[in-house]
Copies of this chain bind each other. A is one copy, B any other.
Amino acid sequence: MSEIMKIAAAAKKDSFRMAALTETQRNNALARIAAALDRTRDAVTAENRRDLAAAEAAGLPDPIIKRLKFDDRKLDDVIEGIRELIALPDPIGRILSRRQLDEGLILEQLTCPIGVIGVIFESRPDALVQIATLCLKSGNCAVLKGGSEAFHTNRILADEVARACQNEDAEIPKGFLTLLETREDIADLLKCDESIDLIIPRGSNAFVKYIMDNSNIPVMGHSDGICHVYVDKTADLEKAVPIIVDSKTQYVAACNTTETILIHRDIAAALLPKLRNALQEKNVLIHATAQVRDILSDAAASAPAALLPAAEENFRTEYLDYIVNIKIVDSIDEAIDHINEYGSHHTDCIITEDATAAEEFMQLVDSAGVYQNCSTRFADGFRYGLGAEVGISTGKLHARGPVGLEGLETYKYRLYGSGQIVEDYAEGRKSFHFKEFTI
C-alpha cells in the first residue's frame, strides 16, 4: 500500500464522521478559516512572493505568473467567498422524498456528502481555499493536489486551513484536508478507487483526458468546450451581433467561449457584413465556409481582412483564442445536427424571436446548457446563482453544467420500520400502501 493509499484510506475513515457534522460545526470552522487567513495575510503573501520569484526566475509565461499571484486583494476575495459560502443553505440532510410504504414503514431519501473528493487543480492558490471550503461546507474530505508553481503558497494555505479547523473540541476530523505535493502523487491517487469517491480534475483538456483514461474513480469535469451560437432566420440582428461578440471575446480562454457561429441562409446576407466588422474590431480571426466568403466578398465595400477557409477540422477545434468559425446552414435542423455532431455538449445558443424554434433547439440540442438570446459566457456557477462552483461538467451522470454544492452531495435512503419483514408481503399476508408525503 503506497503512502497516498494510506492517506486516502484514513480520509475515507474520517469521511463518515465528517458527514455527521452539524451545520453549525461546519460553518463555525469556515468562520475560523476566514479569520485565520485574515490574521496571517503577511505570512501568506510572503510565501507567495517566494513562488513568484521562482516562477520569474524560471521564465514562466505571464499568464501563469498572473494566476499564481496571491496578494491582499485576492485574499480579500477569498475571505469574502468564505463568508458567502457560510450564508448558503446547508446542502446536507435535504429531504428529496418521503413516502409511507405501509403503516409504520416510512422511507426518506435525503442528501448526504459523497465522501472523499480528490481535486487536482491549476496554479491559482485561491483555488485551494475555494475547493477546501466547498468540501467542508458540503461535509466531504478533500485530497488536493495544486500546481507545483504554487508550492509554498499552497502549503501555507493548506496549513492555515487545517489548523483553523482544529478547535478544542476537535470537531473536524484530521482527515478532512490533505495536500499532495508531488506530481508522482497523482498516479498513486488515481489508484485509490477504494477510498476516493470522486475526482475533479481542473486543467488542460489533455490532462483531464489523461485522468479519465487512467482511473476507475468517477471523474466530474469537462475536457473540450466547443460552444456554438446559431442565428435563426427570425433573429433580431440587434441582439445577434453583441451576443456573438460577447460569446467569442469576453474571455477567450474559457470553456464556455463560442468557437463556431452557424447562420441561417435567409439572414446571412443581412448579418454577415455587420458581424465581420464587429468581430474584426475585436481582432478576431475568421475561418469561413465558401458560402460565407462569397457573401462577404460581394458585400465588401472597403477592403476587408482576409477570411480563412473553414474545414472539418476547424469545427472540432477548441481555439481558446481570438479565432472563430462561421458557417451557413439551410435550416435549424442542420444547425442542430452540426452542434450535436461537432460540439462538446457544453453550452449552445440560438438567436431567435420565434418561441417554437427556440423550443425545438432546446429539446434537440444535447448540451448541458441550451440558451436563447444570450451569451454562452453565462455558463458559470456564480452567474447561475449557485454561489460557489466546483467546476463545469459535460458528463451526463450525477451533475451537468456548472456544479455547485449540490454536486458534492449524494443521497441515502432511510427506512424506519417497526418490525416489518418482506415475507409478509411476498406471501400476501400484508400489502403495500404507498403514500407520498409532501416535502
Binding site for B on A (CB under 8 A): 13, 15-17, 19-20, 99, 101, 105, 107, 114-115, 197-198, 212-213, 216, 218, 220, 236, 238-239, 242-243, 245-246, 250-251, 336, 340, 358, 360, 362-375, 377-379, 383-385, 395-398, 400-402, 410-423, 425-426, 432, 434, 436
Contacts and interface: CB of A to CB of B under 8 A. Distances in A.
Nearest to A426: B250
B250 A16 contact: no
Contact of A384 (B16, B101, B417): B101
Given A99-B385, A239-B418, A250-B423, A397 B396 contact: no
B419 A239 contact: yes
B419 A385 contact: no
B384 A107 contact: yes
Given A16-B336, A377-B422, A422-B378, A410 B385 contact: no
A374 B420 contact: yes
A251 B220 CA distance: 37
A216 to B, nearest CB: 7
Contacts of A99: 384-385
Given A20-B364, A398-B398, A414 B370 contact: yes
A374 B238 contact: no
B425 A373 contact: no
13 contacts: A16-B364, A17-B364, A243-B419, A246-B421, A369-B414, A374-B415, A374-B421, A375-B417, A375-B422, A378-B420, A383-B425, A398-B398, A400-B412
Contacts of A114: 396-397
A418 B352 CA distance: 10
Given A364-B20, A384-B107, A410 B421 contact: no
Of all A-B residue pairs in the complex, the 10 with the closest CB atoms, nearest first, are A374-B417, A246-B421, A377-B422, A239-B419, A397-B398, A385-B434, A20-B363, A398-B398, A396-B410, A374-B420
